[in-house]
Amino acid sequence: MPAAHDRILAALELRKPDRVPTFDLMQEYANIYEILRKKPLPIAFLFSNPYIAKIMDKVVAQPWVDQSRPVDKAMKDYTYDRTAASAKMGYDSAWVGYHPVWRYLSSKVVRDIYGRCWDVTLDGKGNVGTPMYRRGLISSPSDWKDWNKKDLLCLPEKNYRMFSLVQKDFGNRLFVFATFTGGLFELTWQCMGFEPFCVAIRREKEFIRRMIGFYTDLYCIMLEAFAEAGVPGVMYPNDMAYRSGPMLNPKVFEELYGESLRRLTGTAHALDLKIVIHSCGNVYSLLPWFADCGFDGVHALEPTAGVELAQAKEIIGDRLCLIGNIDVTHILVSATKEEVFETVHRAIQDAGKAGGYILGPTNSHPGMTVRNLRWMVEAVEKYGRYPLTG
């Protein structure tokens, strides 16, 4: 069994590995290409050049244009390169997403197959950036009934193929956390917008439950696909909090999503998959619930939302592996080498002493530099070997 795999497994099982393991969730093309020393394709040109954008606007509006093939291919290349970059950086694990879900409505707007609209963004370096959520397209039971679910139903098979390749080429170097394009809470509120969702969970609870049920079934089949592909872990991405605390009353989270989450974690464990939840924001009050739902670990632990590793460890360190917490607003963007080393050292001291901690960024961010990410990995080598020294 490769060292990286053992290291991550030990941390997820709250044991001490040989050193604190590392975790990567880089999603930005510019960094990926820099690491791989690849020259980026001038994709952004298609969107920013007014003449080409005009042509694109006309083409994508044609009903006969099938975008699924080129989009799936672009996403496949992205997923492969993104994983290769993680392996090359020497990380122990990586959050790897394969998202064959985008369909362009114009050169400015893209929708996904879940019914969410996003603004196309460009990173200023010739690449497409992470799209920005704009609004939802499904606001009523009849919208949901009419929504074409064919592409959604193809996801398990597409993911099986992609992750079989990823696992074959990188599984001996990286512990791969395969992922979904959004958790149940995100999918259900973003397809209608947050304000209508807050009303709908009072007035149309059964409609919300129906959507949750559909995605729970779909995700259970995707877990089967991940396991069949040989992937050892799953990242369940679901932002449930913001900087002051949970977005919904935790009782409402339990009422609407608890049973589904237990089904997902139960299915993952039955398939020998480890499953970790990601949520941005201040999650202190949700941590015990994450553990009750059966997750093996929790990721993000955002310092800008006031989350401190020592406190998170005290709350839930005996039940959940903690992952992340390295700041992406300054430390991995513009901090000095000394600052990065000091932050990594402190994180390891706060959360890693008894094991059960995987160090990595809280999120992906276009401002992160490869230089600072390398310092982070280097610092873990320096401070993260067990037995830890003060």
- Residue 247 engages other proteins in binding (rule: CB under 8 A): yes
> Shortest Cβ distance from residue 196 to other proteins (Å)?
8
CA-CA-CA-CA torsion sign (257, 262, 263, 268): positive
**Residue selected from 329, 349, 364, 369 as contacting other proteins according to rule CB under 8 A:** 329
Q: Which is nearer to other proteins, 61 or 199 (CB)?
A: 199
> Shortest Cβ distance from residue 147 to other proteins (Å)?
23
Q: Which is nearer to other proteins, 201 or 225 (CB)?
A: 201
Q: Which is nearer to other proteins, 39 or 203 (CB)?
A: 203
> For residue 158, which phi and psi values (nearest 5 degrees)?
-65, -40
> Shortest Cβ distance from residue 366 to other proteins (Å)?
6
Q: x/- site string to other proteins, residues 282 to 311, per CB under 8 A?
A: ----------------------xx------
Decide: 20 and 8 in contact? Cβ < 8 Å: no
Choose the binding region for other proteins from 291-299, 327-335, 343-351, 370-378 (rule: CB under 8 A): 327-335
User: What are the start-end ranges of the H helices in the chain?
Assistant: 3-12, 29-36, 43-48, 50-60, 68-89, 141-146, 150-153, 155-170, 184-190, 194-203, 205-229, 250-253, 259-270, 287-292, 309-316, 337-351, 370-383
Instruction: Quote the CA–CA distance of 317 and 386 in Å, as a whole number.
Output: 18
Long-range contacts of 335-343 (CB under 8 A, 24+ apart): 335/372, 337/375, 340/372, 340/375, 340/376, 340/379, 341/375, 341/378, 341/379, 341/382, 341/383
Task: Tell me how far apart the 2 most distant CA atoms of the chain are, in Å.
Answer: 64
Q: Which is nearer to other proteins, 201 or 234 (CB)?
A: 201
Of the candidates 30, 133, 159, the residue with the CA atom closest to the CA atom of residue 82 = 30
Decide: 100 and 72 in contact? Cβ < 8 Å: yes
Strands 233-237 and 274-279: parallel
Q: Which is nearer to other proteins, 92 or 112 (CB)?
A: 112
Choose the binding region for other proteins from 30-38, 53-61, 292-300, 360-368 (rule: CB under 8 A): 360-368
- Residue 366 engages other proteins in binding (rule: CB under 8 A): yes
Q: Which residues pair with 178 in a beta bridge?
A: 96, 234
Choose the binding region for other proteins from 54-62, 63-71, 127-135, 228-236 (rule: CB under 8 A): 127-135
**Residue selected from 52, 59, 199, 310 as contacting other proteins according to rule CB under 8 A:** 199
> Shortest Cβ distance from residue 369 to other proteins (Å)?
13
- Residue 59 engages other proteins in binding (rule: CB under 8 A): no
**Residue selected from 19, 274, 278, 365 as contacting other proteins according to rule CB under 8 A:** 365
How big is the site for other proteins, counted in residues (CB under 8 A)? Answer: 31
- Residue 116 engages other proteins in binding (rule: CB under 8 A): no
Please give the distance of CA 194 from its chain centroid, rounded to a whole number: 20
For 302, the token pair is 């955002």
Choose the binding region for other proteins from 72-80, 142-150, 206-214, 247-255 (rule: CB under 8 A): 247-255
**Residue selected from 150, 202, 206, 389 as contacting other proteins according to rule CB under 8 A:** 202
End-to-end CA distance of the chain: 30
Residues found near other proteins in the complex (CB under 8 A): 119, 132-134, 194-195, 197-199, 201-203, 242-249, 252, 280-281, 304-305, 328-329, 333, 365-367
